[in-house]
């Protein structure tokens, strides 16, 4: 009997030791929380409790996913030196069917209490949440929003409104899952096909020239008005001066009498008579 029990127990212990050796310690680093997942068996699924910072034994039937509790900043760009080492730019079409592309910056965080629910929905870690879940949501919102916009609007001032509308749409779609999008931002400029860029640049240049021409016409009209006003002012000044001078002469002429003339002459006379005289009498009436 003892021999038969030993035959049964020893293999069982060997299996248990083998299984335990397949497990490992995992860590939840400061600034992160963990979600322990049961991969097989009746307890398959996600634990309801969030695992805090610390060291944990993860068995062969378990897996630990960690998520940051701080704000995450990520870039989706055509460059392989930012974000992932692959092209992650966003391509979209405008209302006319013109294909454009852009790079976007993302700021987001996870809502602590909803992390288990978020994982139950997506079954993805941080990298796949950013590269698949969030990226696909942004892409779909971008195509939907830009599909109702003219390319000239996307090219010009409308691109800021485009990003704002996409951010609002993405936030509404993801907030309930615990993925909170804080901000989307355009990195650089929207990229267009060369033929479209050339046409748009040409139109902008012509518009600027037309505006410059309008400015020059307006300036010439303004300068002409200034010149007319200046001439009118000078003419009025001459008329006013002439009237003033005429009035002064009139007043002077009214004040001149024969007595005043004689007085002025006597006042200036030095008493000497002219050495040369003609038939005229002196201008001073000495007798009187």
- Smallest CA-to-CA distance from 139 within 100, 174, 166, 178 is with 166
H-helix segments, 256-270: 258-268
The CATH code of the domain that includes 109 is 3.30.479.30
Contact at 8 Å (CB) between 115 and 65?
no
Sort 191 into a burial class: Cβ within 10 Å, 0-12 / 13-18 / 19+: middle
Confidence of residue 286 (pLDDT cuts 50, 70, 90): low
What is the per-residue pLDDT across 68-121, written as a single tens digit (0 to 9) for each?
A: 999 999 999 998 887 788 899 999 999 988 889 999 999 999 999 899 889 989
Q: What is the pTM of this model?
A: 0.61
Question: Is residue 83 domain-shared with residue 174, that is, in the same domain?
Answer: yes
- Taking CA 67 as the corner, what is the angle to CA 66 and CA 71, rounded to the nearest 5 degrees? 155
CA distance 201 to 207: 10
Strand partners, 65: 35
What is the per-residue pLDDT across 222-253, written as a single tens digit (0 to 9) for each?
A: 887 888 888 888 888 888 888 887 877 777 67
Strand partners, 183: 107
Number of structural domains, the chain? 3
Question: Is residue 162 domain-shared with residue 219, that is, in the same domain?
Answer: no
CA distance 165 to 92: 15
Q: Give the mean model confidence (pLDDT) for residues 28-43.
A: 80
Q: Domain ends where: 9, 40, 68?
A: 68
Domain interval for residue 106:
72-192
């Amino acid at each position: 009997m003892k021999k038969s029990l030993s035959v049964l127990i020893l293999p069982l212990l060997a299996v248990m030791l083998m299984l335990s050796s397949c497990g490992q310690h995992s860590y939840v680093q400061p600034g992160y929380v963990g979600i322990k997942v049961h991969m097989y068996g009746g307890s398959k699924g996600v634990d309801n409790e969030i695992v805090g910072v610390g060291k944990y034994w993860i068995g062969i039937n378990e897996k630990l996913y960690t998520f940051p509790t701080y704000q995450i900043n990520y870039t989706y760009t055509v460059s392989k030196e930012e974000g992932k080492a692959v092209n992650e730019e966003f391509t979209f079409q405008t209302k006319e069917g013109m294909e454009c592309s852009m790079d976007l910056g993302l700021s987001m965080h996870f809502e602590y209490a909803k992390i288990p629910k978020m994982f139950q929905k997506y079954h993805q870690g941080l990298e796949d949440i950013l590269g698949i879940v969030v990226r696909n949501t942004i892409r779909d919102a971008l195509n939907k929003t830009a599909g109702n916009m003219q390319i000239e609007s996307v090219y010009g001032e409308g691109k800021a409104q485009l990003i704002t509308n996409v951010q609002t749409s993405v936030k509404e779609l993801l907030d309930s899952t615990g993925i909170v999008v804080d901000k989307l931002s355009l990195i650089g400029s929207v990229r267009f096909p060369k033929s479209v860029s050339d046409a748009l640049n040409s139109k902008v240049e012509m518009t600027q020239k037309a505006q410059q021409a309008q400015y020059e016409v307006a300036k010439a009209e303004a300068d002409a008005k200034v010149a007319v006003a200046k001439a009118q002012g000078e003419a009025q000044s001459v008329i006013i001066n002439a009237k003033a001078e005429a009035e002064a002469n009139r007043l002077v002429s009214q004040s001149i009498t024969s007595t005043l003339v004689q007085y002025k002459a006597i006042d200036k006379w030095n008493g000497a008579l002219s050495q040369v005289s003609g038939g005229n009498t002196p201008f001073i009436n000495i007798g009187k």
